[in-house]
Structure 1
Amino acid sequence: MSRKTRTASQLQDEVSRRLHRLQDIVDEGVKIRVPRPQLQEPDASGCNWDTKHFGNMAGHERAVAEVVAMVRKEFNLSTEAKHLNSLFGEPSPE
């Protein structure tokens, strides 16, 4: 299965969304802080990112690990560099 590519912000949002839909987390009303994914060399499965140092996850370590594993199976981190000028509507130099 080939992975879809997403930005770091999109991956961070996806992990957060999935975590905060889990019934145990909803029931406890806990808000887990999800850090931005970090680019790494592709591992044996081909995934090129990981994320560590979640905040406020005490008692939910297993659920966090499972969600991250699921998202890592589906998505890779985009490595495409954006040109700064494109933020201001100016064309990128070729």
Structure 2
Amino acid sequence: MTRKFLNASRLQDEVSRRIHRIHEVVEDGVKIRVPRPQLQEPDKTGCNWDMKHFGNAAGFERDIAAVLKAVRAEYNLSGEAKDLDSLFENFSGD
């Protein structure tokens, strides 16, 4: 399956949306902090990002892992994470 590309903010939002739709999370009224996806070399499945260190996630690790597995299978992180210096390459400070 070919993955679609999302930028970091949209990936973070998608993971958050799916986590906060899980029945137990809704039932417990928990707000889980979802970290920004981190670009990495593609793994054996071809996924080029990962997320670690979710906040307020105690007891929901298995659910979060299932969401991550599903989203990582659907999406790759777009190449927006460029070197910051390249953002100012054409900037003239005159």
Aligned residues: 87
Q: Distance in 1 between matches of 2:47 and 2:29?
A: 31
Q: Distance in 1 between matches of 2:87 and 2:31?
A: 33
Measured after TM superposition, the shift of residue 24 of structure 1 is: 0.4
Q: What TM-score, normalized by structure 2, do the two folds share?
A: 0.86
Q: What TM-score, normalized by structure 1, do the two folds share?
A: 0.86
Unaligned runs of 5+ in 1: 86-91
User: Residue 72 of structure 1 aligns to which amino acid in structure 2?
Assistant: R
Q: State the match for 1:60 in structure 2.
A: 60
When the two chains are superposed, the root-mean-square deviation of aligned CA atoms in Å is 1.7
Q: Distance in 2 between matches of 1:40 and 1:28?
A: 33
Q: State the match for 1:47 in structure 2.
A: 47
Does residue 7 (structure 1) correspond to residue 7 (structure 2)? The answer is: yes
Q: State the match for 1:35 in structure 2.
A: 35
Q: Percent identity?
A: 64
Q: Residues 3-57 of structure 1: CA distance to partner in whole angstroms, max 9, x if unpaired?
A: 0000000000000000000100000000000000000000000000000000000
Measured after TM superposition, the shift of residue 84 of structure 1 is: 4.4
- Higher alpha-carbon deviation: 72-81 or 26-35: 72-81
Unaligned runs of 5+ in 2: none
